[in-house]
Chain A
């Protein structure tokens, strides 16, 4: 049986720097998977490779049978990406509805005009992320958690099958991280959307027992959180740790 997300012998090099080194894993739908690893582990590079934004030096990727690099247009119809909030330029004056509408506009050509139909779609997706009545607010006026929800809403409005999220918990308070994890779990189960997110910590998601890929340029483990988050396994990806850091928190329920 062919898996829905296949990464086989993937190596990505930037000049002489090896960001990913011969990694392989397979995920079958429905999946809610967290890619964990230290800084510089190649987590974002992995997401960008899956999206077809970074060309593999070696190896192959198949997303629902499609090659992200050769079939980029088809991939972008079925895969949505939520970038790190720190990469967003908050000096750009843009409203919540403009941000979300871009997810819909992307299917058309300029001039991209906001019509009633698009407005209704925006309102509907805002209800799903519990941000009703926020559509005319400026993105900069929102809190960190609200901004993350808006970016998730933009990704969802495309009607994608797979949601890729880059550090969705960064710069957030712990309770907000848990709310975002709960929202993602709801999206995964109710809307049948596969989720692959990269994060430094697993604790906000632990209640949902996600699948975990332990990455540090190489894949060190793939499995359920309880199986992967063991000191002897973690030591391979995080050389130097002597005990499981508090941020990983296995088995505690923070929801």
Chain B
């Protein structure tokens, strides 16, 4: 029992690190809308994966399908923007595709297997309160990929967010860095969707970044990691207290944190 509880909290802490690593760039580069679009894509990809695995009775790695779907739709958004379409229009287009995928593959999966919808629901609302060794392995592997790249390219991400025209003029390959970040964000959000679910990922993704910006004079990116970990741990604990799913606890903690920061910000 203690072992399961320990796995739960380690999964929570690792999820927090993952959220913290993506959140800062997502928030500072004013890409929150894009981040939310990404989550639509992941949901569409998850349902595609669920449908394919139900149809062919195969063990298809669903996070891989959702990551690839999200990257493909992100590239479509990026290319449409590069070709002069407004960001709002490009994002709306991508959301339309992702939502259509969700509806179509959700329906098709339900026709193939009665268990498919239950499986799909775990990607929407998160898994039960018990995390598995598989969750732990997926998160650890993702962190090994995401964290070093984020740290290696953090200056570039920050600089592009600060002054995109200036960065282009200095010779930075904006398109390359943008797609690297999109891919890392897609991978992270996809893995998070398989643990805390898409809905809670929606809520939690921007919180460390918002707090980082609010208090940047005193802290650095390590603070974003810390906030991510604390929100996740408190969320999991709250969920066990209230007997709700971990994603519910994480969502509540995120909302309360943002409210607290807003109130503090107004007073100070």
Q: Which A residues contact B (CB, under 8 angstroms)? A: 14-15, 48, 51, 53, 72-73, 76, 79-83, 87-89, 91-94, 98-99, 102-103, 105-106, 110-112, 138-139, 151, 154, 158
Known A-B contacts A93-B212, A138-B217; A106 and B170 likewise in contact (beta carbons under 8 Å): yes
B164 CB → nearest A CB, Å = 8
* Cβ B217 vs Cβ A92 within 8 A: no
**Residues of chain B lying within 8 A (CB to CB) of residue A111:** 152, 155
Cα distance A73–B163 when bound, in Å? 19
Cα distance A72–B171 when bound, in Å? 8
Cα distance A82–B163 when bound, in Å? 10
* Cβ A112 vs Cβ B169 within 8 A: no
Which residue of chain A has the shortest Cβ distance to B220 in the bound complex?
A93
Cα distance A111–B172 when bound, in Å? 13
B22 CB → nearest A CB, Å = 16
Pick the residue among B158, B162, B169 that contacts A88 (CB under 8 A): B162
B159 at interface (Cβ–Cβ under 8 A)? yes
Cα distance A223–B201 when bound, in Å? 59
B153 at interface (Cβ–Cβ under 8 A)? yes
B168 at interface (Cβ–Cβ under 8 A)? yes
A-side interface mostly = mixed
B214 CB → nearest A CB, Å = 10
Q: Across chains A and B, which 4 residue pairs bring their CB atoms closest together, nearest first?
A: A93-B216, A81-B169, A106-B170, A92-B162
Cα distance A154–B84 when bound, in Å? 29
User: B19-51: which have CB < 8 Å to A?
Assistant: 28-30
User: B145-171: which have CB < 8 Å to A?
Assistant: 152-153, 155-156, 158-159, 161-171
Cα distance A98–B161 when bound, in Å? 13
Cα distance A87–B168 when bound, in Å? 13
B81 at interface (Cβ–Cβ under 8 A)? no
User: B186-241: which have CB < 8 Å to A?
Assistant: 212-213, 216-217
B156 CB → nearest A CB, Å = 6
Which residue of chain B has the shortest Cβ distance to A101 in the bound complex?
B155
Which residue of chain B has the shortest Cβ distance to A164 in the bound complex?
B169
Given pairs A76-B171, A93-B213, A103-B170, 11 additional interface contacts (CB within 8 A) = A14-B84, A51-B169, A76-B169, A83-B169, A87-B164, A92-B28, A92-B158, A93-B216, A93-B217, A98-B158, A102-B159
